[in-house]
Amino acid sequence: MFRPKKMTMICGSILATLMFLFSLSISSGSVSALGAASTEMPIHFIRSADCSGEDVEISGTIHMVNKTLVDGSVIGQFNYQDVTGVGLTSGITYRVSAVDQVRLAAPFPSSISSVQSFHLISNGSSSNLIVQVLYHVTVNANGEVTASIDSLSMQCTP
């Protein structure tokens, strides 16, 4: 048998519990802890791939998604989905395979330089490439994260 009053009490209890848990999450961190923020870094470089004897154009956008953790530190994850490479002589295309992350510990402001690597995988039997990127990541006193690419180098994989 359906009892509207009992159902209303159960729904009200569930809603109160959810509101309580939500208020705890707000008090334990900043508002940015409720979600993630994204920084986009356009990338466009032409580098020589010694093993293939040609220049390779690397382009796209690296997305860094960052989140403030309960302990106040910030973790950033680099997503290379939109980055590709093209051999300028052969037309060989390369896809990226990698996910990187950095962590900055509170208190802020704080900054780090971090070398991260990603692989450019060729379509076919051509050599694959390793790209090393020197990032500079900063968290200001307000918890806002910025990131930039300071340099990029490339090597062939054995």
Neighbour-count burial for 58-77, b at 16+ CB within 10 Å, e otherwise:
bebebbbebbbeeebebebe
**pLDDT value for 158:** 63
pLDDT at 126 over 80: no
Q: What is the pTM of this model?
A: 0.64
Give dist(CA 156, CA 85) in Å, integer: 13
How much is the average pLDDT of 26-44? Answer: 60
pLDDT at 128 over 80: yes
- Non-local (6+) Cβ contacts of 14 within 8 A are none
**pLDDT value for 69:** 84
Domain regions of the chain by residue span: 1-30, 35-156
